[in-house]
Amino acid sequence: MQIAPIILFVYDRPDHTERTIDALKKNDLAAESDLYIFADAAKPGAGIRSRNNIYRLHKILQQVSGFRSVNITWREKNFGLAANIQDGVTSTVEKYGKVIVLEDDIETSPHFLKFMNNALDLYEKHESVMHISGFMLPISGQLPELFFIRQTNCWGWATWKRAWKHYNPDASFLLGKFDTSLKQKFNLQGSYNFIEQLEANVNKTLTTWAIKWYASVFFMNGLALHPGTSLTTNIGLDGSGENCVPQDASLSPPLKDIEIEIKEIELKVDEKVEEQVMYYYRHQNDNRKEPPGKIQHYTNIFKRKIVQLILAIDSNIGLPGLKLKLLLLKWQLQIKLAPSARIEQSTAIELRHGGSVEIGENTKLSAYVTIHTYGGDVIIGKNSGISAHTTIYGHDGVMIGEHVLIGEQCILGNKDLQDKGKKEIVKGIIIEDKVCIESGCRISNGVRIGTGAIIKADSLVEKDVPANIVFQTLL
């Protein structure tokens, strides 16, 4: 058996990615597998948090081992998830004839790779089988060990070159092929509105690839092989992904340590399983409460829409009470203080040209600390302290880690950019965990200070400082 290459698509979730890779390394065939990683670049205008996460992610990827080979494609510009997957799958499957595909939030069972490779090998010559899924919905009741359905679940999947050549990324073309009867069949007799995802892609309110793959397989009368027990779980249902909002964890429960034997089964849709899937979709909302995270997600979207509305209203509309409340709402959305954060009364936070401020647990801002966002996000981690008379200019973002101490009368950022807002191209400032910056220091834009570094008093920092060193230069 020729082991299929694994493709992993990543963006700015280092912690999720690390868990995904760690689980994958525990698979039986990991050491015999070639791993291809497609790492997307930062989006235009990406905030300081995202850029720092990408930096951390790159550090993690450079240390990946445990596979036969590790091959990383660093995107020079942002592709977006859909284009990244379309390009990465196409180039890799053209070379190898078959691929196993994961995203950065899919944790796998130790038996996942064996299942996928055995299935790819056994069904390689069966043209009607176009998709192998490692994931199955958490349907109550007994399912067969293996079965075929039409839906192409993509939380860990595999395919062949012969099947992927039918993938059509043109949502308008695909949508135009549906009549009323086909829409009903595609939507599993109305149990789930898959067709609206295609419509959203046509209307440019959504940019995804998976629904186009499902439609492409559907029009080829293709089959998708599934396990009765899921071999993957999605660890990204926390709102961190590109096309997901916080979800009920029951959608992707913990993995079971079960090995599933691959064998030939009849090449047709298992109608009993399809009925169970339709029942699941129809009743899933009846069987679980709406997760608080999802409610909060949509609540914040609604609040932001209201804020945008009030900012568009002329200042002379004569509703000062309403305007005041909505501007306070805007303030609440842009400044996030952990309950245990301590802010002295004389601390000043100025939101100019947009931007936001986030202050973590048990962090203290002393008297006369001043933060000017100037369109950037200022993020301060937990258990940190900023001493009196220190000034922070946000501009392109300032990210201060955990357990960081900053002395009195320091300046972070460049004051001479203060009236240019987002128009000035700067890199922001990143101060990693456990850094100590003594009093009177000046930290310039574009600087990263590594974990555990000590910046001696009255130093001017104009270039990156490596981790765990003592840095001193005079202003």
Q: pLDDT (tens digit, 9 = 90+) per residue, 140-157?
A: 888 999 999 999 999 999
Q: Which of 31-45, 57-71, 237-251, 386-400 has the lowest mean pLDDT?
A: 237-251
In this prediction, residue 317 carries a pLDDT of: 42
Give one word for 362, left, alpha or beta, with left for phi > 0 and alpha for psi -120 to 50: left
Say if CB 468 and CB 453 are below 8 A apart: yes
Provide the percentage of residues in the chain whose pLDDT is more than 90: 73
d(C-alpha 365, C-alpha 341), whole Å: 8
Torsion of CA 243, 422, 13, 84, to 10 degrees: 60
The mean per-residue pLDDT over the stretch 11-38 comes to 97
Radius of gyration of the chain (CA): 26
In this prediction, residue 300 carries a pLDDT of: 57
**Structural domains present in the chain:** 6-238+267-288 (3.90.550.10), 289-335 (no CATH), 338-471 (2.160.10.10)
Greater model confidence, 439 or 356: 439
Q: Is the pLDDT score of 311 beyond 80?
A: no
The pLDDT tens digits of the residues spanning 168-189 come to 999 999 999 999 999 999 999 9
Greater model confidence, 307 or 437: 437
The mean per-residue pLDDT over the stretch 269-289 comes to 83
In this prediction, residue 336 carries a pLDDT of: 86
The mean per-residue pLDDT over the stretch 377-397 comes to 94
Largest interatomic CA distance in the chain:
77
The pLDDT tens digits of the residues spanning 105-131 come to 999 999 999 999 999 999 999 999 999
Q: Is the pLDDT score of 326 beyond 50?
A: no
Task: Give 315's DSSP letter.
Answer: T
d(C-alpha 331, C-alpha 301), whole Å: 15
The pLDDT tens digits of the residues spanning 1-23 come to 899 999 999 999 999 999 999 99
Closest Cα partner for 430 from 379, 383, 393, 389? 379
Q: Is the pLDDT score of 253 beyond 50?
A: yes
In this prediction, residue 237 carries a pLDDT of: 83
Say if CB 454 and CB 470 are below 8 A apart: yes
CA 279 to chain centre: 30
Q: Is the pLDDT score of 313 beyond 50?
A: no
Q: Look up tokens 């308008």; give the residue.
A: 172
Please tell me whether residue 229 adopts helix, strand or coil conformation.
Answer: coil
Say if CB 388 and CB 405 are below 8 A apart: no
Greater model confidence, 438 or 241: 438
Long-range contacts of 299-308 (CB under 8 A, 24+ apart): 300/333, 303/329, 303/333, 304/333, 307/333
The pLDDT tens digits of the residues spanning 196-211 come to 999 999 999 999 999 9
Closest Cα partner for 277 from 152, 139, 134, 133? 139
In this prediction, residue 424 carries a pLDDT of: 45
Say if CB 112 and CB 238 are below 8 A apart: no
- pLDDT tier at 254, thresholds 50, 70, 90: confident
Greater model confidence, 247 or 57: 57
The pLDDT tens digits of the residues spanning 330-350 come to 555 688 889 999 998 888 888
In this prediction, residue 316 carries a pLDDT of: 42
Closest Cα partner for 441 from 394, 416, 474? 474
The mean per-residue pLDDT over the stretch 272-292 comes to 76
Provide the percentage of residues in the chain whose pLDDT is more than 70: 84
Q: Is the pLDDT score of 303 beyond 60?
A: no
- pLDDT tier at 284, thresholds 50, 70, 90: confident
In this prediction, residue 426 carries a pLDDT of: 55
The mean per-residue pLDDT over the stretch 80-86 comes to 96
Q: How many C-beta atoms surround the C-beta of residue 1 within 10 A? A: 10
The mean per-residue pLDDT over the stretch 407-435 comes to 76
Q: Is the pLDDT score of 298 beyond 90?
A: no
Task: Give 465's DSSP letter.
Answer: B
- pLDDT tier at 248, thresholds 50, 70, 90: low
Alpha helix segments (H runs only) across 288-407: 292-312, 320-334
Q: Which of 154-163, 185-194, 318-327 has the lowest mean pLDDT?
A: 318-327
Closest Cα partner for 334 from 401, 273, 291, 394? 394
Greater model confidence, 442 or 299: 442
d(C-alpha 326, C-alpha 398), whole Å: 27
Q: Which helix (H) or strand (E) holds 406?
A: strand 405-406
d(C-alpha 148, C-alpha 131), whole Å: 10
Mean of the per-residue pLDDT values of the chain: 88
Please tell me whether residue 470 adopts helix, strand or coil conformation.
Answer: strand
In this prediction, residue 333 carries a pLDDT of: 61
Greater model confidence, 332 or 24: 24
- Length of the chain as a residue count: 475
In this prediction, residue 345 carries a pLDDT of: 82
